[in-house]
Every structure is written in C-alpha cells, then in structure tokens.
Chain A
Amino acid sequence: MTLIPFFRAPFAALALCLAAALVLPAQGHAQATGDLGLVIERATGSVLVIDQSEHRSIGEITGLGDLSHATVVYSPDENFAYVFGRDGGLTKVDILKQKIVHRVVQAGNSIGGAISDDGRLVAVSNYDPGGIKVFDADTLELVADIPTGSKTIGLVDVPGRKFVFSLWDKGETWIADLSGATPKIARITGIGKNPYDALVTPDGRTYIVGLFGEDHLTALDLWQDPPLPRVILPGYGKHEARLPVYKMPHMEGWALAGDNLVFPAVGHHEVLWVDSRTLKETGRTPTYGQPVFVRARPDGRQVWVNFAHPLNDKVQVIDTLTKKVIHTFTPGPAVLHMEFTARGNEVWISVRDLNKVEIYNTQTLKKVGEFAAQSPSGIFFTSRAHHIGL
C-alpha cells in the first residue's frame, strides 16, 4: 500500500467521487424505505411522506384527487405506494422520488384496494359501478374487470394470486383467482345482509365479514373448498337497543390479540372478543363510544380503539389479558386512524381537526412527537408491504 502524499489527497478523493458517480444508479436518494410511510390529507388530495425514525414528514405529494376516503398498499420492494381514492382514482406514487408515477381514474366511486401476493396485480373495489377492477402493478393497465352488480367492499389479497371481496347489496363473498389466463370466480352466497367491511387473518386463512344488517358476523375458512359461511357472535347486540350508526366501523388486519380476535360491535359501545381457533365468544369490553378501528398492537398485548362521531375525540387502550380498558386519553377532535410501527413500539394517530399527527409510545402511553398535516386521515407504513391482507 502506498501512502498518498498530503497534497495529492484532494485529487484522489475527487477521483473516487467520479468513480462512485459512474457506478451508482443515477436515480433516487440513497435512502431506504423501511421506516417510511404515507399520511392521507383527505381534504386537499395530497399525501405526506413520513419518516418513522425522525418523527416527521419529509415531503408532500399533491394531485391525487378526492382522498376523502382513501387507502394504500405497497409494492414488495417498498418503493411504490398505490393510493386508492374516493373518486375512483388509483395513483402509483414513488415514495423515494416523492412523485406520482401513474394515475388512472378507473371508476366513479371506490372504497378500497389490495395488491396480489406476488406484487404484480393491484385490485380496486368500487361502489359505482359496483365490482372490482384489476390492474398491472407496473403500468396500471387494466387486466381484469369483474362487475358484481353491487357496492363492493372488504377487498383483501390471499395467497395464490387471489382476491376476496364482499357485496353490500347481495350479501355474498366472491373469491377471484387470477393465477391463470382468465380470472376464475367462486361465489359464496348467504353471508348475511349488508356486509360493510371485512378482514382476513394474518395467515390468510379466515375471512371475517362485518355485517350492518345482521346481529352477527360471518366467517369463511378459506382453506376449505368451498368455504362455507359460519355465523359468529350470533345476537351480539341483543342485550340493548342499537344506537344510530354515524360512521361505519372499519375492519383491517391486526385483529389478532393473543388467542383472540377482536371486532367492533355495530351500533354499540363495545369491543367483541372471540377465540381465534373456535371463533366462540370469549368476552366483551364496554367502550367510550362506537368503535371504528379496533386494532391489536402487532404483538397482540394491547388493543387500541377509536370511535365514531360524535365521540371521536378519544382513544382507549385495552389490555388483552384482562380485556379491560387500561387507558383513556383525548388526542383531540376527530381521531380518524391509528397505525402501529411494525414492532408496535409506537402508534401514530391522525387527529383531523387539530391538523396533526401525534406519536405515542405504546409502553409508557406518553406522547413522544407530533407534526402538522392537513386534515389527516389514514396512516400507512411501508411494512404493510409484507403482510397478507394489507
């Protein structure tokens, strides 16, 4: 090894820089995406790119249309986000370059989306015209159009390049298999009246449908062929009159808390618990309001709940072992969403009418950060890329 004389060092450094510039790809920052995410700004049709480690937003992307109801899925490499807007807009965003790559308006009115297990297909569920449309994840070209004749909700991906979704107007669940040249559809009838949302367990096995028009939920074991509807929590609301429902609850993954699955009761101030294997009721937790999101911390040790209008200012934390509320606090008017970091050390909470996102440590239950966002709603971390059904 030769020592570079002092006066020559700057030239050597310059040469190294030039070499590096030739070798490194010209695009993007040298930043990884594993701790990034997006926050929907629902009133302005924009999204914030957020950095988990830095507790702040690192950029804003505009021009995504009507995001008053929106959801996000991620490409397997966590480089791209697919944002599904209320107006039928499907927008592919490069979260490193912080810009829109593709955008299509694929229906008049839509509600959700999903990405296939192989990351090659993106599906959108639509209210109007009712059904799902499937797009190539690279180009957003239409691959399959599956009309259902009904408002279509509860769309999730399951293994085998399949999508599962439910029909509000018809009480059916359909399984679309896109592994072959043409989609194969399996229709399951008798799910129950007015499915409003659904989720699939983290193993992709059990699809659970929330029903607005029934006093129970319905489960499907997707490992059976055909899966048969099974009533769970029959008559859960019988003990008291149902309250007016001013916001439909949401069902998302993270329903698994220890040995139990947790669900919102429709029209009641209650969280419902069932044994995750037998699907029999194991308990109920009275809550402050009608639950909207009932989310288990990723380790399952706690369940966090937010509430429907007009009681949407508070969040409650339930202990999984005792099924009791251990903490109630008031982030502020209109708490719309809660997103855990992948290992659950923090939860990020959007407080729409304070125009901010607040960050809480889930062990101490103390606020550890906050940042500004305009009318924030959904928060989505890139770690969702690696979970079935998200």
Chain B
Amino acid sequence: MPSRATLAVMVALACSAAQAAPTSPTSARQKALENLVRQDCGSCHGMTLKGGLGPDIRGTRLRAFDPAALEQIILNGVPGTAMPPWRPELNERDVHWIVQYLLETK
C-alpha cells in the first residue's frame, strides 16, 4: 500500500496532468493551423484578423475573454450567427493552440 506521501505525489501528478494544456500540435500542424487562421478564419474575420463580416479577433480584443470560452466558440460555433462549428475540422489540441496564437496577435 502506498504511503501517504506517495499518494499525495500521485494526486498532485494526476491534477497537474488534468490541468496541463493539451500537448502541442507538431510544427507542421502549427504551420497548417496558422494558414487556416489567416486564410479561412480570415474569410470572415479578415486576413489581418481585424474583422469583416465577423468581429475583430486579434489578441488585443480577445484578451478580455476567457480562453476556455473562446475554445468552445471555435469548436461549437455560435448558433444563430455565421460562426460555424469547427469541430469537424479541428480537434481540441488544435483549437487550444489557435486560441493561444490569437491571443498573441496584435
């Protein structure tokens, strides 16, 4: 039976694993995702992300929002608007990377 100390370490490890960001996409995938953000999100939000039919999605604006909520918006879309769900195209790791990428844009 594990000691208390060992249990505590195991619990801590399990928590940190649960809270950690999903592992990063490969660098090739990151390049494809950046292209997707600029070109395809850009269809509505503009290639410079300053907005078009859809709103400004530069980091300067998005920092006001909860990143987890932004990930949900990308994955599930916004019903009743032109924002489509990207779940058919992207997994959660992709979307996590995209939100971090957007948050760094100016």
B9-51 residues at the A interface, CB under 8 angstroms: 36, 39-40, 42-44, 46-48, 50-51
Query: Which size bracket describes the interface of B in this complex?
Result: 20 to 34
What is the 8 Å Cβ interface bit string for chain B, positions 71-83, against chain A (1 contact, 0 not)? 0000001000010
Take A244-B84, A247-B43, A309-B40 as given contacts and tell me if A127 and B52 are in contact as well, using a CB distance cutoff of 8 Å. yes
What is the 8 Å Cβ interface bit string for chain A, positions 59-81, against chain B (1 contact, 0 not)? 00000001011000000000000
Instruction: Determine how close the nearest CB of chain A comes to the CB of B58; give it in whole angstroms.
Output: 13
Q: Are A245 and B52 in contact (CB under 8 A)?
A: no
Q: Are A86 and B46 in contact (CB under 8 A)?
A: yes
Asked if B88 CB lies within 8 Å of chain A CBs, one says yes
Asked if B85 CB lies within 8 Å of chain A CBs, one says yes
Sort A-B residue pairs by CB-CB distance and give the 8 closest, nearest first: A68-B47, A244-B84, A247-B43, A309-B40, A244-B85, A245-B84, A86-B46, A212-B82
| Interface core residue of A68, A194, A212, A334 (most chain B CB under 10 Å) | A68
Q: Are A127 and B53 in contact (CB under 8 A)?
A: yes
Cα(A219)–Cα(B36), bound, Å: 35
Q: Are B52 and A111 in contact (CB under 8 A)?
A: yes
A selection of 21 A-B contacts at a CB cut-off of 8 Å is A42-B47, A66-B47, A68-B47, A68-B48, A69-B46, A86-B46, A109-B50, A109-B52, A111-B53, A128-B51, A194-B82, A196-B82, A245-B84, A246-B84, A246-B89, A248-B43, A248-B44, A248-B82, A309-B39, A309-B40, A310-B89
Q: Are B82 and A244 in contact (CB under 8 A)?
A: no
B76-106 residues at the A interface, CB under 8 angstroms: 77, 82, 84-86, 88-89
Cα(A196)–Cα(B53), bound, Å: 9
Q: Which residues of A contact B82 (CB under 8 A)?
A: 194, 196, 212, 245, 248
Cα(A168)–Cα(B52), bound, Å: 12
Take A194-B82, A248-B82 as given contacts and tell me if A66 and B53 are in contact as well, using a CB distance cutoff of 8 Å. no
A228-270 residues at the B interface, CB under 8 angstroms: 244-248
Q: How many A-B residue pairs have CB under 8 A?
A: 57
Cα(A11)–Cα(B42), bound, Å: 63
Residues of B within 8 A of A (CB): 36, 39-40, 42-44, 46-48, 50-53, 77, 82, 84-86, 88-89
Q: Are A66 and B48 in contact (CB under 8 A)?
A: yes
Q: Are A127 and B51 in contact (CB under 8 A)?
A: yes
**Pick from B40, B48, B53: contact of A246, CB under 8 Å:** B40
Q: Which residues of B contact A86 (CB under 8 A)?
A: 46-48, 52
A131-158 residues at the B interface, CB under 8 angstroms: 151
Asked if A356 CB lies within 8 Å of chain B CBs, one says no
What is the 8 Å Cβ interface bit string for chain A, positions 286-315, against chain B (1 contact, 0 not)? 000000000000000000000001100000
Q: Are B47 and A247 in contact (CB under 8 A)?
A: no
Q: Are A68 and B46 in contact (CB under 8 A)?
A: yes
Q: Are A246 and B50 in contact (CB under 8 A)?
A: no
Q: Which residues of A contact B48 (CB under 8 A)?
A: 66, 68, 86-87
Q: Are A352 and B46 in contact (CB under 8 A)?
A: no
Q: Which residues of B contact A69 (CB under 8 A)?
A: 46, 52
Take A42-B47, A128-B51, A244-B77 as given contacts and tell me if A352 and B39 are in contact as well, using a CB distance cutoff of 8 Å. yes
Instruction: Determine how close the nearest CB of chain B comes to the CB of A209; give it in whole angstroms.
Output: 15
Cα(A109)–Cα(B43), bound, Å: 13
Q: Which residues of A contact B77 (CB under 8 A)?
A: 244
Instruction: Determine how close the nearest CB of chain A comes to the CB of B24; give it in whole angstroms.
Output: 22
Asked if A372 CB lies within 8 Å of chain B CBs, one says no
**Pick from A109, A194, A244, A245: contact of B46, CB under 8 Å:** A109
Asked if A43 CB lies within 8 Å of chain B CBs, one says yes
Cα(A114)–Cα(B88), bound, Å: 37
Cα(A42)–Cα(B51), bound, Å: 16
- Which residue of chain B lies nearest to A127 when distances are taken between CB atoms in the complex? B52
Q: Which residues of A contact B43 (CB under 8 A)?
A: 246-248, 309
Cα(A374)–Cα(B36), bound, Å: 17
Q: Which residues of B contact A42 (CB under 8 A)?
A: 47
| Interface core residue of A111, A194, A212, A246 (most chain B CB under 10 Å) | A246
Instruction: Determine how close the nearest CB of chain A comes to the CB of B57; give it in whole angstroms.
Output: 13
